[in-house]
Amino acid sequence: MSKKSLGLDVRLELEGLISNDDTIRSEKDGRQASIFRVAELDARTEADNLRSIIHQSAREGNVNALQEALLKAPLAVNAQDGDFMTPLHYAARYGNYDAVKLLLSKNALPNTKNREGDTPLHIASKYIYGYSDICSIIDEDQADSARKYNTATKKIINALVSENAEIDPVNKYQLTPLHYAAMKSNFSALHALIKLKADVDAEDDNKMTPLLLACVHGSQEIIQELIKANSNVTKRDQRLNTVFHIVALRGEPEYLEMMMDHDPVEAIKALNLFNNEKKTPLRMAVEGNHPETLKKILQMEKKNSCKWMDREKELIHFAAEKGFLEVLKALVEAGGNKNELNEVKAVPLHVAAQMNQLEVVSYLIEEEKDNIDVVDEQGLTPLMMAVTHDSKKCVEYLIAKKANLTITDKDERTPVFIGAKFNALSSVEYILDHLRKKNKETERSALKSPTRNTLRIVSEDVRRTMVNMVDRDQNTPMHIVASNGYLEMMQLLQKHGASITQVNEDEETALHRAAIGGQTGAVRQLLEWDIRLLLMKDEMGNSALHLAARSGHDATTKVLLDNGADKEAKNSYQKTPLQVAVDSGKLETCQRLVAKGAQIESSSDTKTVLHTAAFYGNESIVRYFIAEGVTIDRRDEEGKTAFDIACENDHKDVARAFLETDQWKNLMIPCDVIPLDKHRNPVNMKRRTPFRTLLTKFPELASFVMDNCIEKSKEETDSTQSVAYNFEFLDDTYMMRCVSDDGTGEQLIGCKSAYDEDFKLEKDAQSYASNYDRVYKYHPLKLMADAEKLHLLNHPLSKALLKYKWNRLGRPMYYFALFMYLVFIVSLTQYVRHTKAPYNVWNEESYYDSEYFDENETCPQINTTKPDVVWKIIIQTLAVCQILVECFQLFQRKFAYLVNWENWIDCFIYSTALITVYDFSECSATSGVRQNWQWILAALCIFFGWINLLFMIRKMPRFGIFVVMFVDIVKTFFRFFPVFVLFIIAFSSSFYVILQNRPEFSTIFMSPLKTTVMMIGEFEFTGIFHGDETTHAEKMFGPAHTAVACALFFFFCIIMTILLMNLLVGLAVDDIKGVQEKAELKRLAMQVDLVLQIEASLHFFIQRTKKYATCRYATFPYGKLHKTGFAGWWSNFRRRFGLSVSTDPEIDEMYEREAEFTSEMTQKLQNQAAKLKNIQENIDVMYEKQVRLEAIIAKLATGLNINIELEEKDN
């Protein structure tokens, strides 16, 4: 026995056994396979096969096979396939009545729906032919016979209904079986369903009834049967169409007549009904070009009270436009007016001629020959309308019918002109040839009997009939075709004698019009005909090159230049073509003109092309001309550079382009002028410098300028490196004084530096404002602080200027003033501390009354310890000196001094201090005791004196931030104060009412004070509620009295001490957090205020010494190599006594440089970030332009029928 047969026998034995061995695995997934599972799969496969047999047998009508299969699988009688079709669906579909009967007898469900929601009744009504007789139908008559006499369909429908099938079920489209029967012209099904009382007016999703569907898809018999079944002929679908609309559109006169006979009244009413497109059956018949149907409707219209001529507008126009001659005739015969005017006052002849409908034109003219030259509201004749669409056949016919060729429209345009405008080449050529022939005939007849009159008429006719007649704007046909670039039309007109030198009312030739439109081919053709056209100019002095450059037509510009156009010609505004191109922002045209030798700038012109480009913000043009070497710092009549103009018009990118050049420093020189009065005091004007403009509008560019104002002598690693800071633009307080332009006075000018070669003030330098408070208020550093521009305040240049001002003047003056004030306030405090209060002097038995010292001039009996006279002298000396200083400031600053509240506090402190220490009586001199009012004044003076010290140290960067926090908290409290006061008044008033017997609440004024004190925790609960009941001042009057007081006290504890106090704490924390977030900005702002206020106080001396101000400051980041004098001694002292920041002297010297280096690097990173942001914005703009360009190219390709395969982009 072979191995193969042996393996087969073993396999058969294994399959015949029912084994419990779990080691058998399937080959596919390796899992254990159960023999029971295999048996189940075989059973399922057999069931599927039976279902397939049942469906196939029902489809083929094999009743025996179907019955046998149902015996094996009786439950499969309602089995559904992939389309949810049951055997009953298939049996009904193919007209197998016996199969349907068998299935119904086996409990098949007659209302089961397939995927489309169709029941077997739907299927039986939808399909006409059976499985075996589809191929046996060989002609239409046999098909009609099958529709009418298909008895199987009737039997199937009756059988289904007899088994309780729904007669009007709807599918997913809301279609009933009757809809399908009407749609498919299934007469047998329709007849059976109607007999079974199916709803003949059922509506589907589109509100279509079976009758409406029959009008669209069905036959006459179907419609007739539905009408007999009383189907509603007035039903309207979703588009508001009636059956009359539909049959009119389809052009079925028999259907229409049948429905008219059925219900004449409703038919007449339907004539007046509009669908959602505002169309009646009459209009739909016209639009469908159904003359027979139209005639039927027109017969019905005779019985209509509403005449169709009044209801329907422009029907004849539509028929004429489409060329529906028979329809047009029917309308005219029915009373239509063939001279009806539409909304543009055109008659049907106009539209027929326009659309080249020759038969219609012929019919309309034959009937009305006088209308051949009728005009519409624009003055256009039928001939002109035909010319607009180059309808040559109609043009020939109209001319043959003696249409007037010399008539003009409202714009005085002839048919030739109109044809030229619309590039109607064949029509214009025919007209011109016709006119030429006609003119020749006229000439020959005139020359046979020549007279002066006949010759004049001939020459005039020749001139008029030729192609040079102008319109209202004096444009010739050549002007129009040249502006549109119609080369063939230009050649045709020129062939017939068109003039190319004739000008319109703007004195433009055809070349000018072609140049404006960028019609390069037309320009080239005109120049070939006459090169002298280049010399002609329009009324504004523009040559063709000017106009092409203004419109940015680069190719046209090239053609004009190649033919010798004058590049330096100037128009009436004295502008060359290059300047005109710059005005319009046409970079390519500018490059073309410059490449051809156009002059960029002239020494006689104050305003260059850069001024114009900067005004319009054309960055690319500005960069191009800068690269070409244009002088960028030239000033116009107003003294402004192109950079100034760019800043004034908010063109940031243009301004950046100027600053990136090597001549940026020349652009930053101001040109402002401030007149001086007869006392040499400047007029009250603000400085307007380029740098101030950058601060206001473009802070990023201001930072860029500040970077350029820092110069380094050597590399970063060189220990001998020095850094020079140029303050000329940042500190612009001083201007040069000179004689005014008219020579009658003096003025301050900004264009000349106020500093000499040693960077010190010139002799004639003067501040731009006599009131230095204006200088302080509008100083660039102050502007940065007010605008909260931290990156500018933190810039190394700003820090260097602050450092210079602080070291040279601010630090000594501030600390000297602070020291003197400390001496004053300490002396005042010591004086008050060693002085007895007037109510605290002992007289051996009791204390003196405070009024004693006010009433007695002498008091020899009083022996007290008086304060040291040194304190008194110090106070008087310093107070007098400070009062003199305040008077000097008042003289210098005038009204600005009075509006500063700090000055008022200073005056109050020093004046009250003098009053306090002054002896107004002998008693005060001998005893040292102050009078009562002096003592009260001393209390106020000492309070405001120390508070004033607080505001003085606020200007110190190290401590001032905390004072700022306190001031912000106080401001917040006063904003909250109205709410706070309301709570205080509410509780204090209640306590006054309920606890009035107690001293602390006894008056309406003491009660709020006590209530406020209670907020900090001083409740005295025991004293209030558990006092001595025998004492009136501590007694509670009854339980109700006590209950109300306790309730008020409880709510006071909750609201005032918990909620309100925590609210105040929260507000304070928020204020502190806000200050901390801007701590660096606040610190720099305070430093700016301190330095500038010191300058404002001492500007009188600064301006006269001329030594303090400088425009240049140099430092050594690594420190000086050899420190001498006090600097060397102080450095050694700090190292010797351990006061250095570090133990290593070299590292100590590096700290300051590292700090400056860090600040500089931070600034550079910020600038780089700003540049990257600008680059990203430019990329975004370029991307948007690219997308728009692609869309334009795609539209052009679509219009030109060009297939462009675009490369797919990755997401």
56-87 pLDDT, tens per residue?
999 998 999 988 888 888 888 888 888 899 99
DSSP state of 682: B
Average pLDDT over residues 816-821: 88
Q: For residue 512, which of 488, 490, 480, 489 has the smallest C-alpha distance? A: 480
Residue 71: CB atoms within 10 A of its CB come to 9
pLDDT at 569: 92
What are 400-436's pLDDT values in tens digits? Answer: 888 888 888 999 999 999 999 999 999 999 999 888 8
State which amino acid sits at residue 1038. Answer: G
Where does residue 907 fall: left (phi above 0), alpha (psi -120 to 50 degrees), or beta otherwise?
Answer: alpha
Strand partners, 676: 682
Cβ neighbours, 10 Å, residue 1005 = 9
Amino acid (1-letter code) at residue 789 = K
Tokens read off for 1078: 């801007």
Distances (CA, A) of 505 to 288, 470, 472, 479: 50, 10, 9, 12
Share of the chain above pLDDT 90, in %: 22
pLDDT value, residue 137: 42
Contact present, 223 and 216 (Cβ < 8 Å): no
- Which token pair is 855? 């009433």
pLDDT of residue 1133: 55
State pLDDT tens for residues 273-282: 888 888 888 8
User: Measured between alpha carbons, how far is 1088 from 1090 in angstroms, rounded to an integer?
Assistant: 5
- The residue ranking higher by pLDDT, 854 or 823, is 823
Residue 1206, CB-side half-sphere exposure with 13 Å CA sphere: 9
Summarised one tens digit per residue, pLDDT across range 320-340 is: 988 888 888 888 888 888 888
Least confident among 285-289, 659-663, 759-763: 759-763
Q: Which has the minimum average pLDDT: 143-147, 358-362, 498-502?
A: 143-147
Of the listed ranges 549-558, 704-713, 845-854, the one predicted with least confidence: 845-854
> Over 90: is that where the pLDDT of 1115 sits?
no
Q: Which amino acid is at 233?
A: V
When pLDDT is cut at 50, 70 and 90, the band that residue 22 belongs to is very low
Residue 1030 has pLDDT above 80, yes or no: no
Write a three-state SS string for 918-968: CCCCHHHHHHCCCCHHHHHHHHHHHHHHHHHHHHHHCCCHHHHHHHHHHHH
Tokens found for residue 769:
């404002």
Q: Which of 146-160, 398-412, 913-927 shows the lowest mean pLDDT across its residues?
A: 146-160
Gap between the Cα atoms of 249 and 290, Å rounded: 8
Q: What pairing do the DSSP bridges indicate for beta strands 765-767 and 710-712?
A: unpaired
pLDDT at residue 373 tops 80: yes
Give yes or no for residue 509 having a pLDDT over 80: yes
Across residues 823-847, what is the average pLDDT? 80
Q: Give the whole-angstrom CA distance, residue 19 versus residue 9.
A: 17
Q: What is the DSSP letter of 1207?
A: P
Where is average pLDDT lowest: 171-185, 349-363, 450-464, 936-950? 450-464
pLDDT at residue 693 is higher than 50: yes
Q: Is the pLDDT of residue 147 over 60?
A: no
846 — pLDDT class (breaks 50, 70, 90): low
When mean pLDDT is compared across 106-120, 189-203, 1057-1071, the lowest value belongs to 1057-1071
Q: What is the pLDDT of residue 933?
A: 85
- Tell me which residue of 798, 807, 541 sits closest to 691, measured CA to CA: 798
pLDDT at position 1143, please? 42
Which residue intervals of 218-303 are DSSP H helices? 220-228, 243-250, 253-262, 264-270, 281-287, 291-301
Residue-level pLDDT at 16: 36
Predicted pLDDT of residue 1050: 82
Say what the pLDDT of residue 719 is. Answer: 57
Distance CA 383, CA 375 (A): 10
The answer on pLDDT for 704 being more than 80 is yes
Long-range (24+ apart) CB contacts under 8 A made by 501-504 are 501/530, 501/532, 501/533, 501/536, 502/468, 502/470, 502/476, 502/478, 503/474, 503/536, 503/538, 504/470, 504/473, 504/474, 504/475, 504/476, 504/479
- Tell me which range, 356-365, 507-516, 754-763, 1023-1032, is most confidently predicted by mean pLDDT: 507-516
Distance separating alpha carbons of residues 181 and 250, to the nearest angstrom = 20
Q: Which two tokens stand for residue 21?
A: 């061995």
d(CA 509, CA 475): 9
Instruction: Please report the pLDDT score of residue 962 as a whole number.
Output: 75
The pLDDT assigned to 721 comes to 67
> How would residue 850 be classed by pLDDT, with cut points 50, 70 and 90?
low
Q: Identify the pLDDT of residue 590.
A: 92
Give the model's pLDDT for residue 513.
Answer: 94
pLDDT confidence tier of residue 23, bands split at 50, 70 and 90: very low
First and final C-alpha spacing in the chain: 68
Q: Residue 902 in contact with residue 835, Cβ under 8 Å?
A: no
The CA distance from 602 to 961, in Å, is: 58
Contact 499, 511 (CB under 8 A): no
pLDDT at 122: 92
Residue 1148 confidence (pLDDT): 46
Confidence of residue 447 (pLDDT cuts 50, 70, 90): low
Residues making up the chain, counted from first to last: 1211
User: Would you state the pLDDT for residue 449?
Assistant: 55
Over residues 1129-1141, mean pLDDT: 51
Task: Report the b/e string of 901-913 with b at 16+ CB within 10 A.
Answer: eebeebebbbbbb
CB 160 within 8 A of CB 120: yes
Q: How far apart are CA 720 and CA 713, in angstroms?
A: 9
Give the pLDDT score at 134.
43
| pLDDT value, residue 456 | 46
Read off the amino acid at residue 526: L
Q: Which residue has the higher pLDDT, 430 or 979?
A: 430
Q: Is the pLDDT of residue 175 over 90?
A: yes
- What's the confidence (pLDDT) of residue 46? 76
On whether the CB atoms of residues 1012 and 984 are closer than 8 A, the answer is yes
Position 603 confidence tier, pLDDT thresholds 50, 70, 90: confident
Closest CA to 641 of 632, 649, 650: 632
Mean pLDDT calculated for residue range 540-547: 94
Max CA separation in the chain (angstroms):
159
pLDDT at 41 over 60: no
Residue in the block written with tokens 């149907």: 293
For the chain, helix (H) and strand (E) counts, in that order, are 61, 7
Sign of CA dihedral 509, 510, 516, 522: negative
What are the phi and psi torsion angles at 1055 (to 5°)?
Answer: -75, -50
pLDDT at 727: 86
Average pLDDT, integer, range 945-965: 77
With 70 as the cut, is the pLDDT of residue 1105 above it? no
pLDDT-derived band at 1149, boundaries 50, 70, 90:
very low
Tell me the CB-side half-sphere exposure of residue 75, using CA atoms within 13 A: 2
DSSP 8-class letter at 809? I
pLDDT at 24: 34
Which is more confident, 1031 or 39? 1031
Higher per-residue confidence, 669 vs 254: 669
The larger pLDDT score, comparing residue 676 to residue 855, is at 676
pLDDT tens digits, residue range 619-641? Answer: 999 999 999 988 888 888 888 89
Average pLDDT, the chain: 80
- Residue 1141 pLDDT class (50, 70, 90 cuts): very low
Strand bridging mode 723-726 / 765-767? unpaired
Report the b/e string of 139-155 with b at 16+ CB within 10 A: eeeeeeebbeebebbbb
Q: What is the phi/psi pair of residue 1114, to 5°?
A: -120, 145
Mean pLDDT computed over 539-550: 93
pLDDT at 457 over 50: no
Q: Say whether 822 sits in a helix, a strand or coil.
A: helix
Host H or E run for residue 72: helix 63-72
Contact 1144, 769 (CB under 8 A): no
Give the residue carrying structure tokens 């602070």.
818
Mean pLDDT of 1097-1126: 61
